[in-house]
């Protein structure tokens, strides 16, 4: 959980919250694009774009080294 928090904290606050809500990280359950969109007052398409951008950032070599422990 601590490692996850450190990796996610490298994202913007909005990106971090979107990923936490979409994948249920640190909360009870995951949420749909629609539910997350309502929380932020944007469309589900915009949430999908934010999610995709955040995941691209996490896949970048400078950040992905920290995530390798979760993949194994």
Band of the pLDDT at 66, cuts 50, 70, 90?
A: low
Exposed/middle/buried for 55, CB within 10 Å: 0-12, 13-18, 19+? middle
pTM score, whole prediction: 0.81
What's the CATH code of the domain at 52?
Answer: 1.10.10.10
Cβ atoms of 46 and 55 closer than 8 Å: no
Give the domain extent around 14: 2-71
Residue 63 has a pLDDT of 64
HEC-encoded secondary structure of 3-45: HHHHHHCCCCHHHHHHHHHHHCCCCCCCCCHHHHHHHHCCCHH
pLDDT digits (tens, 9 = 90+) for 7-56: 888 899 999 999 999 999 989 999 999 999 999 999 999 999 999 999 99
| 54 vs 62, higher pLDDT | 54
* Tokens linked to 72: 């194994």
Cβ atoms of 44 and 34 closer than 8 Å: yes
How many domains, in total, are found in the chain?
Answer: 1
């Amino acid at each position: 959980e601590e490692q996850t928090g450190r990796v996610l904290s490298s994202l913007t606050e909005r990106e971090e919250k979107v990923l936490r809500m979409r994948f249920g990280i640190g909360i009870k359950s995951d949420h749909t694009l629609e539910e997350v969109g309502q929380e932020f007052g944007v469309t589900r398409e915009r949430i999908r774009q934010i999610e995709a951008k955040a995941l691209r950032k996490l896949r970048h070599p400078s950040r992905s080294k920290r995530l390798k422990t979760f993949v194994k």
